Amino acid sequence: MSAVTLAPRALYEQVAEELRQRIFRRELEPGAWIDELKIAEEFGISRTPLREALKVLAAEGLVTMKVRRGAYVTEMSEKDLRDVYQLLSLLEREAAATVAARATPAQLRELEALHAELVQAREDRERFFAINERIHMRLLEMADNRWLGQVVADLRKVMKLNRHHSLFKQGRIEESLAEHERIMAALRARDPRATEQAMAAHFASGLEAAS
């Protein structure tokens, strides 16, 4: 049997990732029209892979396709924000409760190490945000439900469209740290109910700060 040659990462996936990061960095603001001709010229590509990339971002909720008007970066309304937080709370608190019941000692040590990193990053908002997200996503991985992880990952991408992220508000980092400590305390105690409650409270506070 002849060797199989694997194709490199599809061009449209590379384009989607570049546009995704521009949206997250606010180089493409919520509500902004995406100039396909300009971007295709900038990237040195045809419009076909660009349009495929936009379909990917539209499926993730980051881009909105409008008939005869093209693609726009999705804008988050107050209702959108509440809906996303509500879904994340429902999904992530259940995952955290599962981890409390099933986590191995090694997994708990890993979470403790991530929490320590979070504490050390309290003066660096961007790093704090990144570690905070790593903790949430690691909990989902430990819950061992790939469908849940996939849904939450997409919801968290959409949440980044919020113009004023809750962690950036005055005093929110210290509040978030305290909430994470309560989650960790419940995980250490292997108490699923307390872990679920702590995670729900964490999302409720995040929504209040983000609104």
pLDDT values of the chain reduced to their tens digit, one per residue, 211 residues: 444 343 446 888 999 999 999 998 889 999 999 999 999 999 999 888 999 999 999 999 999 999 888 999 999 888 998 999 999 999 999 999 999 999 999 999 999 999 999 999 998 988 998 999 999 999 999 999 989 988 999 899 888 887 556 556 778 889 999 999 999 999 999 999 999 999 999 999 988 887 7
Q: Domains for the chain: give ranges and CATH numbers.
A: 11-73 (1.10.10.10), 78-210 (1.20.120.530)
Q: Exposed (0-12), middle (13-18) or buried (19+): which is 204, by Cβ within 10 Å? A: middle
**Cα 208 from Cα 138, distance rounded (Å):** 24
The pLDDT, as a whole number, for residue 164 is 54
Q: Which two tokens stand for residue 127?
A: 């790093």
The torsion angles phi and psi of 86, rounded to 5 degrees, stand at: -60, -45
CA angle 145, 149, 155 (to 5 degrees): 150
**Cα 137 from Cα 157, distance rounded (Å):** 12
| Torsion sign, CA atoms 49, 54, 59, 62 | positive
Sequence-distant contacts of 55-59: CB under 8 A, at least 24 apart: 56/12, 56/13, 56/16, 57/16, 57/19, 57/20, 57/23
Strand-pair partners of 105: none
The torsion angles phi and psi of 63, rounded to 5 degrees, stand at: -125, 145
> How remote is the C-alpha of 94 from its chain's centroid?
17
**Cα 175 from Cα 67, distance rounded (Å):** 43
The pLDDT, as a whole number, for residue 41 is 92
pTM equals: 0.79
The pLDDT, as a whole number, for residue 167 is 59
